[in-house]
Amino acid sequence: MRSTEPTKMQLDEIAASDLDAAFDMINLLKYRVVARYESAVENAKGRSGREAYNEYGKVALPKILALGGSLAYRGSCDHLFVGDETQNYDEIIIVHYPSRTAYLQMFNSSEYQSAIFHRKAGLEFRVLHDVTIQ
């Protein structure tokens, strides 16, 4: 199933895990060529998928930094070396969070939720992995 948003089950799983543990979130992103908003006004701006996602990032990154997280890595995927076209992403972003509690507080904040429409418009799909730091 390709999606841009977590399911209730996935959110429940994070909420039921070790909430105090620091972790990294690996984001594998596939952008739309042209962003698709629900609003004709937003569509008229003619943003690319990457530009729409960057609008989301203007809200998300300051929230991440404010809770003590950091951007650990952001880079373009230049070549698919192993796998097939269903695993071909445009960008990888790794974000460090100090805890799952901090992540969930950010995720549930009204400011963060109000920016998600940019992410949905910009992404064809994404895969996220919550990686516990060993």
DSSP 3-state of 72: strand
Q: What is the pLDDT of residue 85?
A: 81
Q: How many residues does the chain have?
A: 134
Domain ranges, residue 103: 8-132
pLDDT one-digit tens code per residue, 104-132: 999 999 999 999 999 999 999 999 999 98
Q: What is the CATH number for 32? A: 3.30.70.100
pLDDT one-digit tens code per residue, 77-109: 988 888 888 788 999 999 999 999 999 999 999
pTM score of the predicted model: 0.90
Nearest to 90 by CA among 2, 23, 3, 27: 27
In a domain, 19, yes or no: yes
Number of domains in the chain: 1
Nearest to 46 by CA among 38, 35, 56: 35
pLDDT one-digit tens code per residue, 21-66: 999 999 999 999 999 999 999 999 999 999 999 999 999 999 999 9
